[in-house]
Amino acid sequence: MRTVYEAVGGEDGLFRLARAWHARVMSDEIVSHAFSHGFRPDHTERLAAYWAEALGGPATYTAAYGDETSVVRIHSGNGPHEEMDRRAIACFDQALADCGLTGDEQIGQVLHDYFAWATTTTMLRYHQSADQVPDGLRIPRWSWGGLVSETG
């Protein structure tokens, strides 16, 4: 069975999705606030590598950029932001359409579910302080049936 990573077009497909999502959020008056402090010039490449690893692709993000702890710390300590999360998810769904990934209902739903879960769970878990994020977190893996357990 193909991985979600393979079904989305591998590295190239996820780069297109990351680029489309980033363009959408930068034009959204609420979500773009998250980037008001600036962002790395390689943000799109890093995001695509992170999603690739999470969706069954190579562990490029972990090898080149860091672990889940570093990602969660960047997104932590900002308090709850439900409206921003809703809009980020809506931008993701629009980016799926921009990339032609809504034609296959299963892949569109799996990607939506992954992004919504990551946005409202792992990236929000430590909303009070980035100092609460433990060391050594691993990037959660997502497959056709949802979150893949560490033991299975």
Domain ranges in the chain? 4-148
pLDDT per residue as tens digits for the range 40-86: 788 899 999 999 999 999 999 999 999 987 877 776 656 566 888 89
Q: Which residue has the higher pLDDT, 29 or 39?
A: 29
What's the CATH superfamily of 4-148? Answer: Globins (1.10.490.10)
Higher per-residue confidence, 70 vs 142: 142
Q: Would the pLDDT of 152 be above 60?
A: no
* pLDDT for position 33: 75
pTM: 0.89
- Rounded Cα distance between 84 and 93, Å, is 14
Query: CA distances (Å), 77 to each of 15, 39, 114, 121, in order?
Result: 28, 17, 22, 14
Question: Which has the higher per-residue pLDDT, 8 or 104?
Answer: 8
Name the pLDDT band for 38 (thresholds 50, 70, 90).
low
At 141, give phi and psi (nearest 5°).
-100, 140
- Spatial CA neighbour of 137 closest among 146, 125, 145: 125
Which is higher by pLDDT, 14 or 126? 14
**Least confident window among 13-17, 19-23, 92-96, 122-126:** 122-126
Distances (CA, A) of 25 to 45, 59, 89, 108, 138: 16, 26, 10, 19, 26
- The single-letter DSSP state of residue 121 is I
Summarize the confidence of residues 24-41 as an average pLDDT: 81
Q: pLDDT (tens digit, 9 = 90+) per residue, 98-130?
A: 999 988 899 999 999 999 999 888 776 767 777
